[in-house]
Structure 1
Amino acid sequence: MTDTQKKAVIFGLANKRSIAWAIAQKLHAAGWRLGITYMNERLGLEAKDLIAELSGASGFMCDLTKDDEIARLFDELKSTYGVLHAVVHSVGFAPPDELKNPFLMTTREGFRIAHDISVYSLIAVARGAAPLMTEGGGIVTLTYYGSEKVVPNYNVMGVAKAALEASVRYLANDLGPKAIRVNAISAGPIKTLAARGIANFSDMLKTQTERAPLKRNVDPGEVGNTAAFLLSDAGSAITGETIYVDCGYNIMGF
């Protein structure tokens, strides 16, 4: 490690199919020093094996639904790294029944959980990270096209992603004077652990291939490349944006 090495913390690593893992690999290849979090000991079992593949990376346990754990985490990060230059927020969840039942039947508790984990967690980690980002930097979160168009079976997650994208804009405004940029990447459908909960997910992949201008699905590594770009000096004038990495699917009318 060198004093000039940039440091990032990554939230949302579950397994090797996670978008967070693809981003971690790209940042590691670019020379970043990484802190990678996992929610609990169970998820930590697989995460720790992956973290071991990235020289210089460290693992930290943090449940983003608990403010005391978030505070403890950033105390640890301050002790370990001193300064942070980037945050990757690849976190989203809704109770399975909220994705199976019609959107009209969304429960109050399901709505709360989806927004707490998928949206509020971004605000919480940005607030925790900002005091450590004394040299400026970037925050990147992950969203999906269901935030602006109806995607069958995406339901309350679509509404949560719309709130997430609005939060990106408000955070970008708040943090801009500190030279901290906040952006979202809207990735096409990818076979992640979270995607398993979406009914007929294979149909989403098939439709993407048929209708996207590039006639294929996006690769996680392509999302990783975009995140690495946004967090690098090359993305220094980009903030408050939603960047589509979906093989052009979002531009099509039908």
Structure 2
Amino acid sequence: MKKIILLMFLTTSPLLMAAGDYYIGEKVQTNIRSTESLRNGAKTYMNYCMGCHSMDFQRYNRVAEDLELSEDEMMNGLVLTDAKFTDKMTISMGDAQAKEWFGKTPPDLSVIAKARGLDWLYNFLINYYADPNSVTGWNNLTLPNASMPHVLWELQGIRKANFDIYDDEDGNEHKDFQNFEMVEAGLLSEQEYKDLARDLVNFLDYSSEPAQLIRMSYAPWVLLFLSLFTFMAYLLKVNYFRDIH
């Protein structure tokens, strides 16, 4: 019973510090059926993420079709390279260059939503803060000591994190996160930035499994068929057992 109560507390708590020492402070509410949200997320990805992160399992023409964009809108409005409409969403930076410049190869983001989860990705995007002791000048509550700098800082602004630092009975130091303090405002308000992060996560969710849009479009027809089939089966049953009763 104690284990069940503890599990319920952990899954319902709004603030969660998981076993991997990553911080999940907010739940994200995405809507993969929102074409506008997916378009905004795709725009953010193309402008801020694709310089380092590829999507080797995605193609421009597939994204354009699913997001209801014409070839001209996709290639001239979102794509910033000389790629072709039917190309995969790869980047020119090679693994050797990435390791030399960043110390490690930035991960492909095709299925990152499946690997990390939507709440993790959302909190990673909103939980950056300035850290003068970090090599990049940034740190992250969700992924401490992340090697990725805060590429969206101009939009979110510069914040510092306040911690409650104390020693336990054994003399070990602990840091409990308290709040963020804005040092320099960004181009977006706090809610506008969170909306942008949500749309980006929504696009990454779509990209991890584009077929889910097709599956959702079939769902009403499948339910309608099952309803009609159930009704016809009931009429058949009534007719079959009429003489028995």
Q: TM-score range by the shorter chain?
A: under 0.3
TM-score, normalising length: structure 1 = 0.24
Greater RCO (Cα-Cα under 8 Å, separation 6 or more): 2
TM-score, normalising length: structure 2 = 0.25
